[in-house]
Chain A
Amino acid sequence: MSTPPDQLPSGLGAYLLGMPSGGQPGLGVSLAPPADDGDPLVPATRAAPLDTTPPANPRLTDDNVQALGKVLTAECGPKLCTPQELQAVGSTVINRMNRKGTDSVADVIGHHQYAIAKQADPGLAFMASRLLCGQLGDNTGGATHFYSPRSMPMNGQDTTGKDVGGGLEQIAGHTSQNYRPGWAKTYPQKQVDGVRDWFFKLYTEPGNHL
């Protein structure tokens, strides 16, 4: 039996913000400077304050956030995917960047490798920023590739331009057979909690290159 709507946590929004169901921020630390309490014991003249500014993350750029946000929105979006599925799709981009030694999302999503034909959903752009700065980690164990069986051509459908070299497969619980890409025959598959086989199957390209 499911939870009634009025008892539900804030859903995807809460997940994206790292909030538990109570609505408290999940970071556990305040990024704001401590308030000046006017302590009379503190001398008026202080030594030069330490520079506590964290080093800039070269991946946390507007271009990267928008590009990864577009990938998340177009490949999955808040429409149907679970938070774990969104995180997994985003992780494949980050894993590709790590392998390629680049800080640019654009370097690894071109050549129709990822769908980007939608404007980034604001919530998913925020999720993208968390992925880029490492606040939201890789939940796939290093996956670099994925496909979505439900969106692949089914048996008898047009396959023009699509990699269907992996032949037909049948996902449990579904009557129609779908094609799978050729790399799915040889790359090791990664099982990820919260990711449904009918929606995403994740794989890691052997080696450490792309």
Chain B
Amino acid sequence: MSMRSLIIASIAMSGLAAIPSQAAPPAVPTLPVPNHCDQLEALVVKHQSFIDGKVVRDDFYPVPDLVKALKACPAKDKYAKAFDTVLAFEDVQAQEDGPHGQVWLPTATGKDIDKAKTEGHDQAAKAVDGYAAQIKRGDLDETAFKAVLHYMAWQSDDPEYASLGCELAARMYPEDFDSVSTLSHGLGEEACDDAGKEFMPKTPPKH
């Protein structure tokens, strides 16, 4: 027997020759595979917990992580867009009262300071009007937008988020403000109260 024949015979005896070229298909799972994107949507809308890998994500799934995850879900892009819109308002909100700190020149006048505040408030009002127009045109989904406002108030560990959700709710949906503000807590609760005092329409006193 040649060396080649010996090698072939030993392979056949070891059973290695019986290995197919491709691995066998995996067993059919007995449980349905969770739809990550549907669960993300549920998290925004109903604040439900879900399993992400081995980590239970609860109501406090951090906003940046949630937005990143939603952007990987094309069918749920209305939520990612709503988050982007609300988060963009932070830049406008930051300038509503003019610059902070020692940044006014010695030559600055009271008029300069008043002008900066007026411009800041105008910009914020324009942004709010712009969001309403986007919703009217159908470019921004109103249900998703409202859900995001609630979610931001729920994210009250970061008062910045609570402030964004509550200010936009007070300015755009005063009738829904109570339902948003009740989700706020901790540092965010004060931020939300503050937004309500400043931006909720003032009701005339009852006679």
B103 near A163 (CB under 8 angstroms)? yes
Q: Which of B58, B107, B186, B195 sits near A11, CB closer than 8 Å?
A: B186
- Do A75 and B101 contact each other (CB < 8 Å), given the known contacts A11-B190, A160-B115? yes
A200 to chain B: which residues have CB within 8 Å? Answer: 100-101
A13 to chain B: which residues have CB within 8 Å? Answer: 190
- Do A79 and B190 contact each other (CB < 8 Å), given the known contacts A151-B95, A151-B99? yes
- Determine whether B112 belongs to the interface, using a CB cutoff of 8 Å to chain A: yes
* A82 CA / B157 CA spacing, docked (Å): 10
Of the stretches A23-31, A52-60, A108-116, A125-133, the one at the interface is: A108-116
CB closest chain-A residue, reference B94: A150
- Determine whether A78 belongs to the interface, using a CB cutoff of 8 Å to chain B: yes
A176 to chain B: which residues have CB within 8 Å? Answer: 91
Chain B: number of interface residues, binned into ranges: 35 or more
* A80 CA / B107 CA spacing, docked (Å): 30
- Do A153 and B185 contact each other (CB < 8 Å), given the known contacts A5-B156, A80-B159, A162-B105? no
CB distance from A196 to the nearest CB of B (A): 9
CB closest chain-A residue, reference B159: A80
- Determine whether B189 belongs to the interface, using a CB cutoff of 8 Å to chain A: yes
A3 near B157 (CB under 8 angstroms)? yes
B100 near A75 (CB under 8 angstroms)? yes
A162 near B104 (CB under 8 angstroms)? yes
A112 near B108 (CB under 8 angstroms)? yes
**Interface residues as binary, B6-38 with A (CB distance below 8 Å gives 1, 0 otherwise):** 000000000000000000000000000000000
Of the stretches A40-48, A62-70, A98-106, A140-148, the one at the interface is: A140-148
A5 near B185 (CB under 8 angstroms)? yes
* A68 CA / B56 CA spacing, docked (Å): 44
**Interface residues as binary, B128-168 with A (CB distance below 8 Å gives 1, 0 otherwise):** 00000000000000000000000000001101100100000
B106 to chain A: which residues have CB within 8 Å? Answer: 111
- Do A80 and B191 contact each other (CB < 8 Å), given the known contacts A148-B94, A161-B113? yes
* A154 CA / B94 CA spacing, docked (Å): 11
CB distance from A48 to the nearest CB of B (A): 48
Residues of chain A whose beta carbon lies under 8 Å from any beta carbon of chain B: 1-5, 8-9, 11-13, 74-82, 111-115, 123, 145-148, 150-154, 158, 160-163, 176, 181, 183, 200
Q: Can you list 29 A-B contacts (CB < 8 A)?
A: A1-B57, A2-B157, A4-B59, A5-B156, A9-B186, A11-B187, A12-B190, A75-B100, A76-B100, A78-B194, A79-B194, A79-B195, A80-B160, A81-B159, A82-B159, A112-B104, A113-B102, A114-B102, A123-B190, A145-B102, A147-B99, A150-B95, A151-B95, A151-B99, A160-B112, A162-B99, A162-B108, A162-B112, A163-B105
